[in-house]
Structures are given as C-alpha cells and as structure tokens.
Structure 1
Amino acid sequence: MSAPHRLDRGHTDDLMTFLAASPTPYHAVANAAERLEKAGFRQVSETDAWDAETAGASASGSGGKYVLRGGAIIAWYVPEGAAPHTPYRIVGAHTDSPNLRVKPLPDIGAHGWRQVAVEIYGGPLMNSWLDRDLGLAGRLTLRDGSTRLVNVDRPLLRVPQLAIHLDRAVSAEGLKLDKQRHLQPIWGLGDDVRDGDLIAFLEEELGLGAGEVTGWDLMTHSVEAPAYLGRDKELVAGPRMDNLLSVHAGVAALTAVAGGSKLPYIPVLAAFDHEENGSQSDTGADGPLLGGILERSVFARGGSYEDRARAFAGTVCLSSDTGHAVHPNYAERHDPTHHPRVNGGPILKVNVNNRYATDGSGRAVWAAACERAGVPFQSFVSNNSMPCGTTIGPITAARHGIKTVDIGVAILSMHSVRELCGADDPHLLANALVAFLEG
C-alpha cells in the first residue's frame, strides 16, 4: 500500500521562506545548516582528523554531520550498525542561480549616474532583470581572514530599460541587449564616482571599520518576495527555484529520515555551487568535494579501499534539478508526446545522449520510491530539434562511478529572475526524496 504524504502545502510555505532568505549560495547553505542543526546535525571540519565519532558512527558522535565549503554543503546521517561498506543514497542539487555579479572594480558611472559594474553569471534571461528593484548580497572576506554574510534586501539597484520612444523597433524586432553596455545597474546620482564607495557602503551596513573588507563575492537579487499566484493559489512565483527548490526539499527529506535506526543506506545531501557555469570548481559537482567526504566517512569508520569500492558500487544518486513544464504559448518547443504539467508530480529526465544520467535501471529505482511515497511522476525528454540542457547528474555518475538518476520539478520561466512552479510539486518532490533515502 502507498505510504501517505509526510509533507504537505506547509512545505511549500516553508520553501517560500527559504527562497527569500537565500539570495546567494552562501546564504542558502547557511540556512540549510541552521535547519540541519535544529534536527541534531553537527558541523565537522575538513581540516580536522576524522574518526568514527567525527563521521557520526559512534554513540557519542551519533546524529547527522555536515561539511560547509563556500557555497556548497554535504550532509549525511550514519544509521546505527552501518558497516563501512554500507552504500549511500544521495540527493544531489545545486545552490547557484544565474544572476548579475559584482566586478572587482565595482564603482563606475556616466552622465551623472552612479553605477555598479557587474558581470553575467550563468545563462540568465537577461530581459527579466530589467526594471526590477534589486538588492545586493553575498560574502565579504575581512582583513583577518574571516568571512561575513551581507544581505541588503531592499531596493538598492536597478537596470533601467530604454524607453520605447528611443527604440521604436523593439516591438517588431525584439529586445537586443549587449551584456557589457546594457546591464550595468544604477544606484545613485553624482559625477564624483570614487573607487571603494560600494564596499565602504557595505562596511557601514555591517558596522565594520573602514578598510576591513579585502575580498568580496557579491551578486544582485530581486527583492520581490515569493508569492502564491492564480485564482486558487495553485502556483508559486519566486526567485532561484532553479535550484533552491531541490536544496530545500533535500534538507527536508534528510532531516525527516535522520534518526532511523533500520535504514539500509547512509542518506546524504550534496548541494554544490557553480552548476550554472560548468561545475568545475572546488565546490562544484565536477570537483573532489563529494568523493573526498564519502571516502573519509568510510575510512573513519574503519573501512578499507575495498569497503569504499563496495559502498560506491551500491550507491545511487538522485540528481534533483528543475525541468521544463509544457508552456501553453510555446507547446511546439516541447516533445509532442511528453508534456509535463505543473502539480502533476516530479519529472524523470531522460536523454539517450547522456545529457541526463537516467537509464532504465535508474528509472526503476525512482519509480519504486514514488510508489512507496504515493507520489505520481512524469517523464521529460527534449524535442529532438532542440538542444538538451544538462545537470550535475552525468558529472556525478562519471566522476564517482555511481548510478545516478536525473529528476526534478517542472517549472516555467527557468533562468528568469522570477520563476513559476506548481504549489503542490515541492512537497510531492520532498515526499519522493524521503522514500528514496529510506530505501
């Protein structure tokens, strides 16, 4: 008999809170860590020596553990009696989203306007950033080597669109944006642009002394709050659903199963940074972060290389990322027989050219988890005439030699500053992830 849903529309309410509080990958992992701490998880340091207690396998070290590195977080729970060769069940996701990021020399301006120099991160729908009230958030590194999170979550910047009177062809020929010239936001007036003004402003915001900030990773975000949408509020509009929706669901699923003493697998959440630009970084899925932590967990629990090989051979990863719901105005862009609908349940992503990692045996794992959870799921393939996107799925499978299945939630307006999903799909995904982690 199908298990009842453990999470309901209240999960979606909480997702909206998580999205609003996580304007950057650094904030997302900090908020994830806070939720894990409340569930009994404890942070471990990569620079410390690991033993069974550190890895969470002893009585004194019982409970979940997690590692933070930049904008990535890896969390796991070792159930009682787990052997060193016990396989993992991994929910993989990513914390980054396309946006506008501050350049090393941010203070620019022209014609009486003060502006902030930005660079394009990932592949945003650039038009969606025009005429939005934007905040500024990120990570500041101080002179003593410590870091501070900053979030100016109020209207601070704006990328103004050119009036139609000065571009009469825009309606007929479409909007054409030059990434260098047309996307630099304004944040004030004046001809006296001075180097250091933006960072001095942020130092004042945080109550820091002048010159304390020596490094920064800053990005813009829309300050418009997530909201229910539609006559019956069956939709949710909000920022960064790609892919904080999956990060949030993964945290909820991991904390739901932690404490289970009869789990046949070690449940893991792996939320990486830099998926939107190729995953090749020390915090990306194509880096050594996940493999190193899983290996250290095996060895800290007394395992050998043989145990590590056995554990990885039995491991399955669900790469959870948003996908495309059928668009009512552009249905011809989709495969004619695969039309995922919002609130129809999470999607299974398939591409025979391995842009997604799903194969038939992986489909069976996913189908079994959805059946146990009582969650419907849909299938997604791209139109043969359209290039297919990709995810951390194939990267994870190839780098670690573990079975990986690509899944997610179908949305509209992907890579927009404000995306759209069904209000039921987030909790349907989370319930399926719970069943998957429980085995």
Structure 2
Amino acid sequence: MSEPPRFDRGHTDDLMSFLTASPSPFHAVASSAERLEKAGFRQVVETDAWDGTTGGKYVLRGGAIVAWYVPEGAAPHTPFRIVGAHTDSPNLRVKPLPDTGAHGWRQVAVEIYGGPLLNSWLDRDLGLAGRLTLRDGSTRLVNVDRPLLRVPQLAIHLDRSVSAEGLKLDKQRHLQPVWGLGNDVRDGDLIAFVEETAGLAAGEVTGWDLMVHSVEPPAYLGRDKDLVAGPRMDNLLSVHAGVAALAAVSVGNLPSIPVLAAFDHEENGSQSDTGADGPLLGSVLERSVFARGGSYEDRARAFAGTVCLSSDTGHAVHPNYAERHDPTHHPRVNGGPILKVNVNNRYATDGSGRAVFAAACEKAGVPFQSFVSNNSMPCGTTIGPITAARHGIKTVDIGAAILSMHSARELCGADDPHLLANALVAFLEG
C-alpha cells in the first residue's frame, strides 16, 4: 500500500473553502460527494441492486452521506472502521408560510433549529440556502450567498435595561429577519424570489428546506494567523476531515473497510431517516456484507469487529470562563484532537476505546487531549452513544476543540483540522 498523504495547513485552507461551499447539510453532502468522486468513488442508489465489486462507493440521502471503500480481497466478514460525523448546524430555518412583516417591513418567518446562540445571529448579513423540491419530485439546491436578510437588534436607547440585565430574546418575536420594504406580506413572496434565483419557472417549487447562513467568509485570525473563524465548524470540520481521510486511505489492501458516515439532524436528536438514530448506516453496512456474498453470520462477525470514531467538535477551555470547565481537563486549541469521556454515557468512550484512539494518534504522530465536563454542569452528547447502542459496535467520541460553539461564527485553531485528519487516516488504515 502506498503511503497516504499527510495533511498540513493546506488542509485548513481547503476546510475554509468547504465551509463556504456548504451553507446547508444538502450542500455539505454535495461538496463531500464531489471530493469523493475525484478520488475515484462512485454513487450507488439505494433502490438499485448492489454488487460486490471492490472500490469506493457512496450513498446520498437528503443531508446525509455514507461512503465506504472495499479493498481487494475483502471477505464478507471483514470488519469496518467508521468515522461518524454530522452535517447540520444550529440556525434559523424558513417556515411553511414564509412571508410575513409589519409596519412597512418585509420579513421572513423562521423557526429555530437546534440550540443556536441566538445573539450571534443579530445584526449579521445573512444569505439563504437549502433544498427545493419541484413538482416532478426532483430536487434542486439553491444558495443565495449574498447579504439578503438581517435580524436587526433593538437600539439600546429603546431598552436601557440591557446594560444591567443582559439581552433577553423571545424566540418567536425577536428573531424574524427583515429583507425589504412593503405594506403587504405578499409583496415579499420569498419562494417566487428563490425560484427566480434558481432559474425555475414560477410555481415549480412545491416544497423547500431553506435556512439562513452568515455570508461572511471564513478567515485566519490573530497576530500569527494561528486561529480560524468561520461558520458551521460544528460539525463540518469533522465531515471535511473524514472525507479527506477516507479519500487518502482508499488505495491498495487494508485489513478493514473504511467508512465515512455523515448524518443530518444531530442538533435536534438524530431521530430521522437521515439521522444517526435512523436505519441508514446499518442498512448500508449490511448490504455491503450481503453484496459480497455474506450471510447473517458474516454480518454479525463484521459488526463485532467494527470500531467507530464519532468525531464532533468539543469545548476548548475559555479564557474568560475557565471556572465552567473541569479544573484538571483544559483542552486547548492547536493541542490536537480531544478524546471525550463521560461515565454516564453521554459520550461512548471507554478505556478500550481510548486505547484505539491513542494508538491511531501515536501512529500519526499527533498529540491528543482529554475532555470531561465539570461535574456541576450537564454534559452534551453526540451521535456516539446512539451509534453504539443502535448497531452494537464499539464507538469512541473524539473531535476538535473550539470556542463559540453553536454561534453563527465559531473559532478553532488553525492546526487542529489537519491534526484531526491525520489521526483519522491512521485510524482508517487499521
């Protein structure tokens, strides 16, 4: 097997391009598929019969992608090595009746998706992106990547209590963006505007999954440009690293079958046909076994030997709020990927899983850090425990340390993306 490439700051440059090209989960999987196609992967359709040929393949379903590489000589019971991630991020999403407004302002009716830092969406130039469903059942991606909407903050002169009591936002009343002027809500006609932008005929769109995004591009930050500020790092940073790692190892003979599983809807519980709590991953893995002539016994053997790294961003220690972190676990940006541990199974890592990740990092020459939550604070969770429980496979929770998680614009170290990708390469190599 030829030596795979090792990633450096060029990987971080490419991550910034990936973030810009992926304003929605649907764009993220399209961007991922484009990169995998260049690496020799081909799309397979779930409604078609699958064959047992070797090589790289992938399945797209909505905002999710599952890709895998079958090396020469892989037996039906060959185990999988999976990198799991998610494509969605907290944001504002367009409601079924999108046109609203008051007092001469045209507005767009939005619903809160996931748990965003609401204040981070105020006074920010916003675009609109997502998926359109047409009358014939086909879909079309759309991306209005220019200043189109804005959620204006109330001037301090009209609410002096903000200085003393802090900003308080009502999710229903205070987050509806403006996008023009008009005295009739029909003047807005958002879907007609989107149809025209996408080059579609009037009335052709019958369904939509649209969301707003910050149009400010990612950028290096700091005196030494050792930080990166940008949108949707939670969790496109992991998706991008997983795609790069899978493409890098998909050559020659491997002891296991490398897989990337990037799911949608992690931010609201993963319970959908494209979420980690749905059947997509299990279906793809089983069909891969059976397409290679395997039996249910082969499937059981393959799953028993499978390991998944659930890669999601985690919390770097915040210099202004260090007391919110565990006093002895302070992950730092540019310190390498973090291993997430929670004994109450909010993360899936156990001691044997730690050993798997430690071995991968040692092989890659990458440092890693440990994260646990402060005992006095609730711990978040990931697709890790869901994946472990649903499929009965060993799962380890890892990720990259960031600040401003769930903000419209997050912050990571400029070296952590390629350190994570190198660790994933070593893991997928088995």
TM-score, with length taken from structure 1: 0.96
Give 1:319 shift: 0.1
How has the CA–CA distance of structure 1 residues 4 and 284 changed in structure 2, closer, same or farther, with 3 Å as cutoff? closer
- State how far apart, in whole Å, the 1-side matches of 2:60 and 2:255 are: 26
Q: Deviations over 1:19-49 (max 9, x none)?
A: 0000000000000000000000000000001
The Cα shift of 1:260 comes to 2.4
Tell me, what secondary structure is at the counterpart of 2:302? helix
- Quote the offset at 1:154 in angstroms: 0.1
On the 8 A contact 1:3/1:373 being kept in 2, the answer is no
Does the 8 A contact of 1:97 with 1:242 survive in 2? yes
- Where 2:186 maps in the other structure, the secondary structure is coil
Q: CA deviation at 1:62?
A: 3.5
Deviations 1:208-251 (A, max 9, x none): 11100000000000000000000000000000000000000000
Q: Structure 2: how far apart are the matches of 1:5 and 1:142? A: 42
The offset of 1:281, in angstroms, is 0.0
Q: 1:214 to 1:136 in 2, by over 3 A?
A: same
Could you tell me whether the CA contact under 8 Å between 2:5 and 2:248 is conserved in 1? no
Are 2:4 and 2:249, in contact at CA under 8 Å, matched by a contact in 1? no
**Between the two proteins, what is the percent identity of the paired residues?**
91
Query: How many Å separate the matches in 2 of 1:183 and 1:80?
Result: 53
Say if 1:5 and 1:373, in contact at 8 Å, map to a contact too: no
- In structure 1, C-alpha distance between the alignment counterparts of 2:185 and 2:331, rounded to whole Å: 50
**What secondary structure, in the 3-state scheme, does the structure 2 residue paired with 1:372 have?**
helix
Aligned pair in 2 of structure 1 residues 233, 2: CA closer, same or farther (>3 Å)? farther
Alignment coverage as a number of residue pairs: 430
Report if aligned partners of 2:107, 2:188 keep a CA contact under 8 Å in 1: no
- Structure 1 partner of 2:20: 20
* CA spacing shift, 1:2–1:411, aligned 2, 3 Å: farther
| Mapped partners of 1:191, 1:429: distance in 2 | 51
Distance in 1, matches of 2:5 and 2:80, equals: 23
Any idea what SS the aligned residue of 1:398 has? helix
Rounded to whole Å, the distance in 1 between the matches of 2:315 and 2:286 is 35
Are 1:411 and 1:420, in contact at CA under 8 Å, matched by a contact in 2? yes
CA distance in 2, matches of 1:396, 1:117: 34
1:96 lines up with 2:88 in the alignment: yes
- Which runs of 5 or more residues in structure 2 are unaligned? none
Shift of the alpha carbon at 1:196?
Answer: 7.5
Shift of 1:415: 0.1
8 Å CA contact 1:76, 1:268 repeated in 2: yes
Cα distance 1:63–1:423, how it changes in 2: closer, same or farther (>3 A)? same
1:147 aligns with 2:139: yes
How far apart, CA to CA, are the structure 2 residues paired with 1:130 and 1:206?
27
- CA change 1:157–1:10 in 2 (3 A) is same
Q: Give the superposition deviation at 1:259.
A: 1.3
1:384 and 1:150 mapped to 2: Cα distance?
44
- Name the CA distance, whole Å, in 1 between partners of 2:64 and 2:188: 29
1:302-335, Cα deviation, whole Å (9 max, x unpaired):
0000000000000000000000000000000000
Which sits farther off after the overlay, 174-183 or 188-197? 188-197
Q: Give the whole-Å Cα distance in 1 for the aligned partners of 2:330 and 2:3.
A: 27
Q: Which runs of 5+ in 1 are unaligned?
A: 52-59
Gap change, CA 1:2 and 1:234, over 3 Å in 2 = farther
Q: What are the residue-to-residue correspondences of 1:243-282 with 2, within 5 Å?
A: 243-261=235-253, 263-282=254-273
- SS of 1:77 mapped into structure 2: strand
Query: Structure 1: how far apart are the matches of 2:111 and 2:332?
Result: 34
Query: For the residues of structure 1 that align with 2:64 and 2:424, how far apart are their CA atoms?
Result: 19
CA distance in 1 between partners of 2:310 and 2:304 (Å): 17
1:389 has 2:380 as partner: yes
* Contact kept in structure 2, 1:5 and 1:374, CA below 8 Å: no
Q: Is the 8 A contact 1:237 1:420 kept in 2?
A: yes
Alignment RMSD (CA, Å): 1.6
| Residue pair 1:72, 1:271 contacting (<8 A) in 2 also | yes
Task: Find the residue that maps to 2:170 and give its secondary structure.
Answer: coil
Q: CA deviation at 1:190?
A: 0.8
Contact 2:400 2:417 in 1 (8 A): yes
8 Å CA contact 1:4–1:373 kept in 2: the answer is: no
Distance 1:390 1:2 in 2: 37
Q: CA, structure 1 residues 87+240, in 2 after alignment: closer, same or farther (shift >3 Å)? A: same
SS of 1:151 mapped into structure 2: strand
Shift of 1:110: 0.1
